[in-house]
Amino acid sequence: METSLSLHPVTEVEKERDTQFRERFRGFWMKSMAEGFGEELSQLQKEPDMTKPKLAMLIDALAGGTGIYLPENGAEGTSSGVSEVEMLLGVKR
């Protein structure tokens, strides 16, 4: 099922689609970060002072980068009303 992002989800269906969309984009984003910065992340993970809490904080910080592409944070869509994230994930309206 294709999902799209609703700026203000109201119904349960909209809320579920919004959640699925965000999870899908988060997965894409984290995979991109791991592929793009894999060597650096591997080195950080090997650092002697890289504890589990610090690693969790790093992961949360990387995942937080998804927010800049979401409409509620000012990300703009195309003239057709489709956001860049929707285009990236192949969402059709």
Which residue(s) pair with 83 in the sheet? Answer: 77
CA pair distance 32, 39, nearest whole angstrom: 13
CA pair distance 42, 20, nearest whole angstrom: 29
> What is the model's pLDDT at position 35?
93
CA pair distance 32, 42, nearest whole angstrom: 15
Q: Per-block average pLDDT, block size 10, for the chain (93 residues)?
A: 59 86 88 93 91 92 83 54 67 61
pTM of this structure: 0.68
CA pair distance 36, 18, nearest whole angstrom: 27
> What is the model's pLDDT at position 87?
67
> What is the model's pLDDT at position 10?
79
Per the CB < 8 A criterion, the answer to whether 77 and 83 are in contact is yes
